[in-house]
A and B are shown apart, each in its own frame.
Chain A
């Protein structure tokens, strides 16, 4: 599979700029985990998933569940850039009356397949969607994105067990392995490693990649689609705050809006104009 790396990198930069603009305009939100997930989301929506912004609810579509719902600005950015709604609408994030709720709201936002925000629940819903594909003999695939801190929720492992028990090979989950959560490093708060061995023990196919390298993301997704009888985990090593120098690897940027000056610097570092 050949990918247009240039196109994807340009799109990912746009998505990152959209993330910064949204969170700055809202005055609150989660930049760190949105930026770490930006490349994975860009790849899925612009190189992989069979979806149609003109017909968001088409039955045999691929689906995406943002289990780490606080990265909503990243999802909203790709949906807007993909054409589900106008890019200008992004600036209404988190404002009273906006469809762009602080966490994904499937009732109101075209293209959002599941309402999330309470960690651990999205992956269960993704398992349900993958199961429905099996029941219906649908060709659609289900993608989900989890945080590494999110893996501490017991519900994630209940979902992991069910996905392999039912042999859901149409389910591919990514873990955004940025090593940080709110109170600090994963291993200081509650050790989650080894993530790969845990999922293997739960019956999943596991690949480890660099979550900011489009060639590696592409190869992993292609390989995942060939796996039969098992769900697949793509454990993607990422940098929290990726692309903005002062946010990278800083737990303090988990849930804080940049000031005007900081937003300007961030957008410029990402190659945009303020």
Chain B
């Protein structure tokens, strides 16, 4: 069993390191610092941590003001209350004036689990991707979270980073080169390509292993940066393999699947199948049960690949 760490924990750890390197980093939270893991930064640099209270809209507005006064701001809360509650403030006060604010939202997706639909954000990638100039990142594991966050911190402009609650297997070793805006070729393959993000990357790798034994060779791309999207990697997948299967812990409306499909439709028409949340709200349950209920497991990805393969024979 590989080591497990949640991407929110990796975020919290990275934030402490970044705080030592850059004295201009300010961290904001909205009464969830022990869940978003900004509590470590608060402890290390109490003078540079500010609790906005349960007031996400004001937190985003303050973040913009701090950014335009020379600070590099990391603002955290749950994805529902960042991308959801504070949407229009992010759009008009952070996106439109292009503020140097890193919105690091945790507890995204249905694997939030027992809290249920009111807390399970499966719309945030859509909401954030539609804002001009917003960089949108959704790492798969602890290693890529740290590597991507370092690049996010160095970038001048607004970024949305989508992080999870659940401890997930570490997919990459420390030596893996990971670049913002460039898909990671997580596994080479020649028949079909699964393009995944977040915790679905690990599921995709497991599916590829199963399918290998059935004689289907699957390429796996980790599309950790949804915007700007690595179009060339998508075009290569569309031309070098028979079909594309996208996999995301997000609505299939407006997320990774939709973004990939629009590139494919424009540049290289190919069949695209989508594994993701099918226009449904979440519900209470254990994360692993919910992954099954919402068809977000390795087996669901494998089924989608098998179906595409059968159709294209």
Contacts and interface: CB of A to CB of B under 8 A. Distances in A.
A102 B114 contact: yes
A183 to B, nearest CB: 5
B271 interface: no
A209 B174 CA distance: 58
B53 interface: yes
A60 B283 CA distance: 31
B81 to A, nearest CB: 7
Interface residues of B, number: 31
Contacts of A100: 284
B119 to A, nearest CB: 6
A152 B57 CA distance: 11
B243 to A, nearest CB: 32
Interface in A84-103: 94-98, 100-103
A12 B33 CA distance: 33
A120 B118 CA distance: 13
A100 B115 CA distance: 11
B55 interface: yes
Interface centre among A102, A103, A182 (most CB of B within 10 A): A102
B307 interface: no
Interface size class of A (residues with CB under 8 A): 20 to 34
Contacts, number: 90
B116 interface: yes
A28 interface: yes
Nearest to A30: B115
Interface centre among B80, B84, B115 (most CB of A within 10 A): B115
Interface string B267-301: 00000000000000001111001100100000000
B313 interface: no
Nearest to A70: B115
B31 A103 contact: no
Contact of A118 (B55, B85, B289, B293): B85
Contacts of B114: 26-29, 94, 102
Contacts of B119: 102-103, 117-118
A238 interface: no
A205 B29 CA distance: 33
Nearest to A151: B54
A152 B30 CA distance: 10
A96 B285 contact: yes
B51 interface: yes
A116 B31 contact: no
B34 A182 contact: yes
> Which secondary structure dominates where chain A touches chain B?
loop
Interface string B189-225: 0000000000000000000000000000000000000
Contacts of B31: 149, 152, 181-183, 189-190
A249 to B, nearest CB: 18
A210 to B, nearest CB: 25
B52 interface: yes
B176 interface: no
Given A105-B116, A117-B118, A183-B33, A153 B54 contact: yes
A33 interface: no
Nearest to A152: B53
A81 to B, nearest CB: 22
B57 A154 contact: yes
A102 B113 CA distance: 9
Contacts of A149: 31, 53-54
Contacts of B155: none
A28 B115 CA distance: 8
Contacts of B283: 96, 101
A274 to B, nearest CB: 23
Interface in A144-164: 149-150, 152-154
Given A96-B285, A102-B114, 10 more contacts: A27-B114, A28-B113, A96-B283, A101-B283, A117-B116, A119-B54, A152-B55, A154-B55, A181-B54, A189-B51
What 8 A-B pairs have minimum CB-CB distances, sorted nearest first? A190-B53, A117-B118, A96-B285, A102-B116, A152-B53, A94-B114, A101-B116, A152-B54
25 contacts: A29-B114, A94-B284, A94-B285, A95-B284, A95-B285, A96-B283, A96-B286, A96-B289, A101-B117, A102-B114, A102-B118, A102-B284, A103-B115, A103-B119, A115-B118, A117-B115, A117-B117, A118-B84, A120-B54, A149-B54, A152-B55, A181-B53, A183-B33, A189-B53, A190-B51
